[in-house]
Amino acid sequence: MTLTQNLVQLVRNRDITHQDRQASALFLLDALASAYAGSNTPVGRKLIAWAKREPLNARTKAFLMGSLAHITETDDLHKASVTHPGCVVVPGILAMANRADATGQDLLDATLQGFEVMCRIGRAVGSEHYKKWHNTATCGPFGSAMAVGSLLKLSDKQCVNALGNAGTQSSGLWQFLQSGAMSKHLHAGRASESGLLAAELAEHDFTGAADILEGDQGVFKAMCPDAIPGEILNHPDAVWELLQTSIKPWPSCRHTHPAIDAALSLRSQIGNSIIDQVHINSYQAALDVCDRPSCENEYQAKFSLQHCVATALQTGIVSLESFSAEARDNVSELAKQCYVGLSEKLDQRYPQAWGASVAIRCVDGREVTAVSSDCKGDPELPLTEIEMIEKSTNLLLHAGLTVAAASALVAQVKGLPESTVAVEFMDSYFTHILAQ
């Protein structure tokens, strides 16, 4: 049997508990709230303007919601695979929910299965893949296809076909970061749409390569110089990968978060002292993606260790408003005093742990240092349910929902584990965003 065939059986034979569904509901809420928030951004409005000229079928909806969910950099992050599963898996599920007459439990089970496939494949692509390819974009179609296939009740054979055709659509390059271009949002939207399309075609027995991962002309040989195929099937009895996924407290690239945590912990220690220099040490991938001393736009700032740490130290908060032109100007001088370097110790722990150290030297000679071995929001340092709901509510309010509407939506999603009737979120979502 191929890796894909074994993976389908592994995932579909797993038990799902009520607690698993409760966790899945919170991750679905996080992705949905991020998709709402993304609509109230300059980039989001460009995507919505495009969508108003397109037929709103399931694939268009998955593409648009996936793209919008990835804009504010508030979506979840799975460390070991370096992927953002929610912004890819959840839009595909919600886009297909009405046609599939899906219950709340159906949605949550599909979410668990989609996360599982996307993250297991993400773990297997290897670190070299990430240097050129955006893992969310390349591994995402697999997760979306598996999740939508769950809703469509595909047979195992059909599901393998869906994953085969998801894999042949795998793409997404990092080059956009050099100029701060908008392509990253396209990555999430396309991954969600591609997986949905693959599942729809599989429903008609449209075939895909069963060995799309390990074949001589498959994903690993074409795109992954140091692939780890064993990661696909390792630890079959471990907790669901969704439970190993992190929820972001700050709206910036996850690679900046351990440094933000460390900086925030130091702010009270320096008091009124004037900062002379700040030294940020982290793992190599964080440097590759987020060593950005100057930022010409909001998105570059979200991928700048220097800007994020300067913001945390100077203002004590990192919010959606922390990356505007005015906010960048306000911390630009301190950002110039931030220097980034490699920590061999932290690099050895990555990607199982994402860490950073921040050392501050003040003009008066005071020196303070903090190390964050893990990020707030990781399974090791999880947000509470109250914090997760507060985050999602704030994102919904940012999108323009009233307090009453936001509270009602949160309550509806929280009730999904007990729901055995058809549930549909997309009509109200698109009514809201297309009215802008």
Q: Where are the domains of the chain?
A: 3-249+382-434, 254-372
Q: What is the pTM of this model?
A: 0.95
DSSP state of 384: P
Contact 186, 88 (CB under 8 A): no
Contact 303, 290 (CB under 8 A): yes
DSSP state of 383: P
pLDDT of residue 271: 86
What DSSP element (H or E) covers 279? Answer: strand 275-282
Say if domain 3-249+382-434 classifies as CATH 2.60.120.10.
Answer: no
Q: Pairing mode, if any, of strands 338-342 and 367-372? A: unpaired
pLDDT of residue 292: 96
Structure tokens at 213: 């991962």
Give the pLDDT of the chain (436 residues) as one tens digit per residue. 999 999 999 999 999 999 999 999 999 999 999 999 999 999 999 999 999 999 999 999 999 999 999 999 999 999 999 999 999 999 999 999 999 999 999 999 999 999 999 999 999 999 999 999 999 999 999 999 999 999 999 999 999 999 999 999 999 999 998 888 999 999 999 999 999 999 999 999 999 999 999 999 999 999 999 999 999 999 999 999 999 999 999 999 999 999 999 999 999 899 889 999 999 999 999 999 999 999 999 989 999 999 999 999 999 999 999 999 999 999 999 999 999 999 999 999 999 899 999 999 999 999 999 999 989 999 999 999 999 999 999 999 999 999 999 999 999 999 999 999 999 888 899 999 988 7
C-alpha closest to that of 168 among 202, 209, 137:
209
* 401: Cβ contacts below 8 Å, ≥ 6 apart: 36, 409, 432
Quickly name the fold that domain 254-372 has. Answer: 60s Ribosomal Protein L30; Chain: A; (3.30.1330)
Contact 321, 37 (CB under 8 A): no
Cα 356–358–361 angle (5° rounding)? 165
Contact 185, 87 (CB under 8 A): no
What DSSP element (H or E) covers 24? Answer: helix 18-39
Alpha-carbon distance of 253 to 285, in angstroms, equals 12
One-letter amino acid for residue 54 of the chain: E
